[in-house]
Structure 1
Amino acid sequence: MAARGHVQDPNDRRLRPIYDYLDNGNNKMAIQQADKLLKKHKDLHCAKVLKAIGLQRTGKQDEAYALAQEVAALEPTDDNSLQALTILYREMHRPELVTKLYEAAVKKVPNSEEYHSHLFMAYARVGEYKKMQQAGMALYKIVPKNPYYFWSVMSLIMQSISAQDENLSKTMFLPLAERMVEKMVKEDKIEAEAEVELYYMILERLEKYQEALDVVRGKLGEKLTSELQSRENKCMAMYKKLCRWPECNALSRRLLLKNSDDWQFYITYFDSVFQLIDESWTPPLEEEQSLEGEVHYSIEQAVKFIEERITEESKSARPLRGPYLAKLELIRRLRCRGCNDEYKLGDPEELMFQYFKKFGDKPCCFTDLKVFVDLLPSSQYTKFISQLLEVIPLSAAAESEVALPADIKALQQHLCVVQLTRLLGIYHAMDKKEKLTAVRELMLRYRHGLEFGKTCLKTELQFSDYYCLLAVHLLLDLWLEEGEETAVWQCLTFLEEGLSHSPSNAQFKLLLIRIYCRLALMQNTYSTTPSAVLVISLT
């Protein structure tokens, strides 16, 4: 509700019980209290608005709106009434009425910083960007603060984004915004990082990439400190736009020397190396190789650099995934060029196996490796999966023939292998009997894995949820591809079971929705009885 800090005002003391009733959800008492107050103080506009809020919350929207309009017609300027009306209009989903409210207040109190700022925000909620610009400049004239000036600049950018005519955007709105910022730059009035970000955004949208780069590399760029490597990332983006591959390469190389686990810079490093190779680039004789330092412009240098990163990683206290994945990425790119064998980077199958041994207990291992499975020949899929299974510590339980993991790390390793098995199509190649056997094993593993998640909160997923999901997908294959009707009912049973243990699992919910919808659609196709469709939908 509205702020009630200055209790010295008698009206605040009178209104406090109504606020308390509304805050506690006792809307009927709030209405009664407002009526009592209005009998004694008929001109207490805020009490009328608070009564309207109570009426709105009890479902009497028409009465609430009529009462609010009575007060709004008087064009109130007291904070309590204005804030209460704002709350009411928000609950009515009528934000456009708030703009009229503060337009009237600004006319009556033209020098109020608070009312002008409220008016600007009201325009922002309804997307009135032109009026936002005018309100921002009016506010800046009253109180010459940088944020208010840049509110107006941002309004111009929003007008350019929402403009249907792209030419108008680039010839009027953005150039005007640029001139407004340049005025502040020349007067040395840029104070905040957000103001530099805004300037950069304008130049980028105007495709003035060199000017944007100069801003980031210059004095203004020193203000870009809130995000890690914000300045370097913006420089990199502009180097790419300008196709300045030597600088791209040198900067990404330098950043990887600082943090060899940052994947985005590996991609930029490889892109720039091969661009330089394709352009037959050579360093200048008497000048620096680039503004950002040393440049790698050959495959030999790239191979050596990646090997060095792996060597450095082996000395690190914390295992880093980036260098190992970068080696696989380099192999993939060299294969595309038909020159992988010359550099002896290793067998992808062995490299992926070693990666699994090092990081297989991490949930990210599957998503890391799935990008590179195309490096494996299809004839080696089964062998590769068997090789991975051999290094997982599993032990057969007395009551089960299936070897089960003894801890969460082993479970994560096995889950990674199971997901890779699905990805490589090994499950798909099975016949019906083998698939059903695999489903039983997966559900056995799922239920066993629930032991590790007994302390999980309802908002957390169980460690073994993916076993259940994979079992359901195998059953869906049987239903959709082979018409096995009993499979779909098993799917529903397993998903409901999974959802009972992991109420926050979105994949369980989405699959349930998909199956229920499909069943209802099929029933519509084969039956014209509405009740039958309803039964299927609710089953």
Structure 2
Amino acid sequence: MASKFGLAGGIPERRVRPIWDAVDSRQYKSALKLCTALLAKHPTSPYALALKALTLERMGKPDEALSVCLEAKELLYSNNIFHFDDLTLSTLQIVFQRLERLDLATSCYEYACTKYPNNLELMMGLFNCYVREYSYVKQQQTALRMYKTVGEERFLLWAVCSIQLQAYFSSGGEKLLAFAEALLKKHISSHSLHEPEALSLYVSILEQQAKYDAALEVLSGDLGSLMGREEDKLRLQGRLLTQACNYVAASEIYQKVLESCPDDWESFLHYLGCLLERDVKLPKPTTGEHTCSSCSVDSNKTSLSEEVVESRLASALLFVQKLQKNDSSDSVRGPHLANIEIERQHRLSGNSTKFMEALVNYFHRFGHLSCSSSDVEIYLHMLSGDEITELLDTISRSFDASSVSVKALGLTITTFKVQELLGTLLSKSTTDLQRIAKGMVETFYKNLPLSRDLDPQESMHGEELLSMASNILVQLFWRTRNLGYLLEAVLVLEFGLTVRKACLAIQDYSGASVLLLGSSSVSTSMVCKPGGQKHSSRIRLTPHLATDVEFSFLATNCQSCEGLS
């Protein structure tokens, strides 16, 4: 290639570099002048024309850019070009792609590959053109040409992936997959495989043909060592055994995975599905009322008798309890979530006595974590109204809300989040919502000392309370059309930003609230005194959030805020 010898498209690189620099810095007029000067010295250079076309396209002149590209294309097709390199073609391809003329870029590469049939870079460029056009057959043919030219494993994998795409989007998939398998077997017999991706692709081809035993044999052999982590290999074996309906062996495999990775929730669901001898579905959050729709493992679809199901659930519960004892840290939540799922299975069978207990135990253990409410959201939607009330009361009694500690603050936030997730806040009266919003702001203010020693770029403890309080105030605005609530929502968020400017979440909420406030056509008289004189910064927190503190006092004079902003 000419560019390897200090030439770019047959032109000295020192003459081309300033054009690229000008384009990259959006100085298109300067770039166009440089292109004109370059063409004066190299009038028959396709690369110089490609650079001019690129500049014109960036300047918003697509018709002129296409005309220049076609001129460069004609020069490429002539017999007077000595520097036919990938740099010229890739530059033209960029312009053609932006002009939505991929066919022209492909034709250029096809001609180049005809003229230089063993040029690997040109063939790779042609392969990429076919990828952009979703031309799977031509992708396969080009990849096989590259594989035959240099014998590299990656090009064989490209060809096999192209065959997989053909099998997926067209008829005759069985023959295509058999052809892909034969290609890989031939390569393995002569060169073996050297990359984990190659092994995964080979197993995938066998799996698509329902050759589960053959795939398991490959994983158990020497090629199985290509898997970087033993857990990944076990997960793949478990999936293949499940598809082969060997549920007993699959459950044993998933047990091994969970013993080394107890927080692997997906593997637990597969493990439970194998015990119940049915397919599994991962939990999907629901936005409806308190009903569970298509969540987790549905034991009603199993072919096992009720006695066998209960026996296997008891076995799973013993295994989960063992995992809980082996790891007592707060960072591993999977076994405790697994306990809830097992009790959900009992609930489906009519035995719901321990389901609530499992949820309560989870909140006692992890309720102070910000993720605890979202962890069990799918299960919360299964509860009735009375059960929700009981759960919230139990959580509230489990800690002292008046204490200033990170754990108590976390549990307080979780209580609010559960109500927010289940929509119970929206059913409350306006007076109750005012009281709740006020309590959120006061709780945040009371716990400000907890954030004193944090880095300025770290999130404050309890900053979610301000966002939730602001959200309630916005809901009150939509309910009552009282602009005072909307103004208070903005002030609450601005207070948080005054304390700690690096709160990105609060910044987003604040920006959205200000936009909403602006769209509501708020009169400037609400924030200005007669005569255009602005109010002082001592804006009182309300009448609705009636409190004895003022924002100026909170933000500037409160000793609790020292060192936070």
TM-score when scaled to structure 1? 0.75
Deviation (angstroms), 1:246: 0.5
Residues 327, 281 of structure 1: CA spacing in aligned structure 2 closer, same or farther, 3 A cutoff? Answer: closer
Structure 2 residue aligned with 1:136:
143
**In structure 1, C-alpha distance between the alignment counterparts of 2:510 and 2:104, rounded to whole Å:** 39
Query: Does the 8 A contact of 1:6 with 1:12 survive in 2?
Result: no
Structure 2 residue aligned with 1:344:
none
Deviation (angstroms), 1:332: 2.1
Structure 2 residue aligned with 1:100:
107
Residues 259, 17 of structure 1: CA spacing in aligned structure 2 closer, same or farther, 3 A cutoff? Answer: closer
1:152 aligned onto 2:151: no
Deviation (angstroms), 1:139: 1.8
Query: Does the 8 A contact of 1:366 with 1:420 survive in 2?
Result: yes
1:249-273 per-residue CA deviation (whole Å, 9 max, x = no partner) reads: 2112222222333222322333333
Instruction: Please list, as runs of the form range in 1=range in 2, the aligned pairs for 1:377-392 lying within 5 A after superposition.
Output: 378-392=385-399
Query: Does the 8 A contact of 2:425 with 2:433 survive in 1?
Result: yes
Deviation (angstroms), 1:99: 1.2
**In structure 2, C-alpha distance between the alignment counterparts of 1:3 and 1:469, rounded to whole Å:** 60
C-alpha RMSD of the superposition: 4.1
Residues 176, 5 of structure 1: CA spacing in aligned structure 2 closer, same or farther, 3 A cutoff? Answer: closer
175, 179, 184: which one aligns with 1:181: 184
Which stretch of structure 1 is more off in the superposition, 144-153 or 265-274? 265-274
1:62 aligned onto 2:63: yes
Instruction: Please list, as runs of the form range in 1=range in 2, the aligned pairs for 1:159-170 lying within 5 A after superposition.
Output: 159-163=166-170, 168-170=171-173
Query: Does the 8 A contact of 1:461 with 1:504 survive in 2?
Result: no
1:287-330 per-residue CA deviation (whole Å, 9 max, x = no partner) reads: xxxxxxxxx9644433332332222234xx66532222222222
Deviation (angstroms), 1:474: 4.8
486, 501, 504: which one aligns with 2:482: 486
**In structure 1, C-alpha distance between the alignment counterparts of 2:114 and 2:507, rounded to whole Å:** 51
TM-score when scaled to structure 2? 0.72
Gaps of 5+ in 2: 279-301, 498-502, 521-565
Deviation (angstroms), 1:505: 7.5
**Letter of the 1:223 counterpart:** L
**In structure 2, C-alpha distance between the alignment counterparts of 1:449 and 1:39, rounded to whole Å:** 72
**In structure 2, C-alpha distance between the alignment counterparts of 1:263 and 1:417, rounded to whole Å:** 24
Query: Does the 8 A contact of 2:470 with 2:492 survive in 1?
Result: no
Instruction: Please list, as runs of the form range in 1=range in 2, the aligned pairs for 1:330-479 lying within 5 A after superposition.
Output: 330-338=342-350, 347-373=354-380, 378-392=385-399, 394-395=401-402, 406=404, 409-423=407-421, 426-442=424-440, 445=443, 452=451, 464=462, 466-467=464-465, 470-471=468-469, 474=472
**In structure 2, C-alpha distance between the alignment counterparts of 1:445 and 1:213, rounded to whole Å:** 57
**In structure 2, C-alpha distance between the alignment counterparts of 1:233 and 1:26, rounded to whole Å:** 53
Query: Identity rate of aligned residues, in percent?
Result: 24
Deviation (angstroms), 1:417: 0.9
**Letter of the 2:489 counterpart:** F
Structure 2 residue aligned with 1:237:
239
Structure 2 residue aligned with 1:28:
29
Structure 2 residue aligned with 1:329:
341
Deviation (angstroms), 1:67: 1.3
Deviation (angstroms), 1:118: 1.1
293, 297, 318: which one aligns with 1:304: 318
Deviation (angstroms), 1:362: 1.5
**In structure 1, C-alpha distance between the alignment counterparts of 2:512 and 2:243, rounded to whole Å:** 42
Query: Does the 8 A contact of 1:382 with 1:426 survive in 2?
Result: no
196, 201, 204: which one aligns with 1:198: 201
Instruction: Please list, as runs of the form range in 1=range in 2, the aligned pairs for 1:259-338 lying within 5 A after superposition.
Output: 259-275=261-277, 279=304, 298-314=312-328, 319-338=331-350
Query: Does the 8 A contact of 1:313 with 1:319 survive in 2?
Result: no
Residues 477, 57 of structure 1: CA spacing in aligned structure 2 closer, same or farther, 3 A cutoff? Answer: closer
Structure 2 residue aligned with 1:525:
none
**In structure 2, C-alpha distance between the alignment counterparts of 1:279 and 1:144, rounded to whole Å:** 52
Structure 2 residue aligned with 1:40:
41
Structure 1 residue aligned with 2:563:
none
**In structure 2, C-alpha distance between the alignment counterparts of 1:430 and 1:53, rounded to whole Å:** 61
1:208-255 per-residue CA deviation (whole Å, 9 max, x = no partner) reads: 333333333333332222x66221111111222222111122112222
Secondary structure at the aligned position of 1:74 is classed as: helix
**Letter of the 1:253 counterpart:** Q
Residues 442, 340 of structure 1: CA spacing in aligned structure 2 closer, same or farther, 3 A cutoff? Answer: closer
Gaps of 5+ in 1: 283-295, 342-346, 396-404, 520-539
**In structure 2, C-alpha distance between the alignment counterparts of 1:462 and 1:496, rounded to whole Å:** 18
**In structure 1, C-alpha distance between the alignment counterparts of 2:507 and 2:181, rounded to whole Å:** 45
Structure 1 residue aligned with 2:525:
none
**In structure 1, C-alpha distance between the alignment counterparts of 2:58 and 2:412, rounded to whole Å:** 54
Bigger relative contact order, structure 1 or 2 (CA pairs below 8 A, ≥6 apart): 2
Deviation (angstroms), 1:70: 0.8
Residues 509, 65 of structure 1: CA spacing in aligned structure 2 closer, same or farther, 3 A cutoff? Answer: farther
Structure 2 residue aligned with 1:211:
214
Secondary structure at the aligned position of 1:197 is classed as: helix
